[in-house]
Amino acid sequence: MRRFFTETYYFLVALEPRYKIVLFLVISLLILAAVMVIIVLRERSRKNSVENRERRISRSVEPIIQEIVFSEYDGGEFKDAIKKINRIVDSALYRKSNMAILNELILYYHRNLGGEAFNRLEMLYREIGLKQIALDNLRTGEWHIKAKAINDLSTMRMGESLFDILQYTDYENQNVRYEAQYAAVKLGGKKAMGFLDDLDTPMSEWQQIRLLDQSLKFEYELIDRVGKWLKSENNSVVVFGLMIMRHLNQYHEKGELRKLLYHKDEKVQEKAIETARELAYAECLENLYEVYELTKKIRIKKQILRAMGDLGGSKEVGFLRETIAREKEYDLVFEAAQSLKRMGRRDVLVSYKEQELSEKGESIVKHILDDRI
């Protein structure tokens, strides 16, 4: 054996450098492959262990949860059921992951049941300690753990955790603050929306829609804070306030709405014009004339022409007719013609003389008058 190793050593020493490099790479690749195989097998074994433990816990806990949900348990029986569940999930090494499995199981039943079952599952969630675990995760976890904890608390309707959740409505991580904002409105209703008063971080359009969806459940209650939001330095909050005005018919802030028609941010200005149009706020037409002359933004001008078509009378008919005749921008001519058509003033569109319109304007008018469109 010693002779074998000695001969192998001298053989390797005698090899040319290029063969040594190739041999080294082959051996390195074999070692790397062996390590990868070990890692894959170990990870598969760990995954199988987790899945087996999850199945075992689910098989043991589900009947107890079903009894709690569908049976008339008194206080003593409820405590006994909690003790049984605790014995099942108790483990020196795996208690944390076992509680996570239990958490997902209770969330699953809560999403798919209703009525009295809701209340019993929420009581179980509190008594078994899952609410406290979620609060601990909220305070000390990484951002994704915080976001998950907030989502779980709102899903399980843990209203007493509202104060803790409100601390994260302006959090540095977008995912955490979005979950906190949505959960706050879901758990606290319109009173919890006070976080918008001092919100510094922007809200995406999707987040505004989520919050609006929850706000629509207030059954058209008056939201007193709309005025503050319309005056906010956070443009996304202003836009959200305008959305609330529009969808919940909040007419009490029309004066602030007129000011927003002149806002320096295009999105806010556009949303203000759209809101005035949707609320049929014809008193702002004089302001719209001013904005039309002041702005150079085509999108804003289009919104104004559309609003004139919905809110206007004979004066606006004349303005729209003049716009078609003198305006060179295609989109504005088209919008003015559409507005006249929506007002039922086809007679104005057909009254143009050939010399009054450019070739482009004439083609647009013909297009709008075509009944097939």
pLDDT of residue 301: 94
pLDDT of residue 201: 94
Q: Which two tokens stand for residue 184?
A: 């706050």
Q: Please tell me the predicted confidence (pLDDT) of residue 205.
A: 93
The percentage of residues in the chain with a pLDDT greater than 70, rounded to a whole number, is 89
Does this model's pTM top 0.75? My answer is yes
Least confident of 257-261, 338-342, 366-370: 366-370
Check residue 1 and give its pLDDT. Answer: 64
- Choose between 294 and 369: higher pLDDT: 294
- Quickly state the pLDDT bin for 297 (edges 50, 70, 90): very high
pLDDT tens for 108-121 read 888 888 778 888 88
Question: What is the average pLDDT across 264-291?
Answer: 93
Give the separation between CA 333 and CA 109, rounded to whole angstroms.
57
| Per-residue model confidence (pLDDT) at position 182 | 95
The pLDDT score that the predictor gives to residue 154 is 94
> How does residue 162 score in pLDDT terms, banded at 50, 70 and 90?
very high
pLDDT beyond 80 at 219? no
pLDDT at 373 over 60: no
Q: 285 to each of 184, 261, 291, 297, how far by Cα in Å?
A: 38, 11, 10, 18
Q: Which residue has the higher pLDDT, 314 or 270?
A: 270
Higher pLDDT, 316 or 17: 316
CB 285 within 8 A of CB 258: no
Residue type, position 101, single letter: I
Mean pLDDT in residue range 215-243? 86
Arithmetic mean of pLDDT over the chain: 85
pLDDT at 356: 66
Confidence tier at 275 by pLDDT (50, 70, 90):
very high
Average pLDDT over residues 165-184: 95
Judged on CB neighbours under 10 Å (0-12, 13-18, 19+), 57 is buried
Q: What does the block give as tokens for 134?
A: 């979620």
Supply the pLDDT for residue 11. Answer: 64
More confident residue, 166 or 219: 166
> Between residues 90 and 182, which one has the greater pLDDT?
182
Average pLDDT value for residue range 82-97: 81
CA distance 333 to 352: 14
Band (pLDDT 50/70/90 cuts) for residue 73 is low
Question: What kind and span of H or E run contains 105?
Answer: helix 95-112
Q: Would you state the pLDDT for residue 8?
A: 67
Among candidate residues 240, 274, 238, 270, the one with its CA nearest the CA of residue 256: 238
Asked if the model's pLDDT at residue 175 lies above 90, the reply is yes
Question: How many angstroms separate the CA atoms of 151 and 173, rounded?
Answer: 15
| Predicted confidence (pLDDT) per residue in 144-155, tens digit | 999 999 999 999
Q: 199: left (phi > 0), else alpha (psi -120 to 50), else beta?
A: beta
pLDDT at 161 over 90: yes
**How does pLDDT run across 350-368, given as a tens digit for each residue?**
776 655 666 666 677 677 7
What Rg do the C-alpha atoms of the chain give, in angstroms? 34
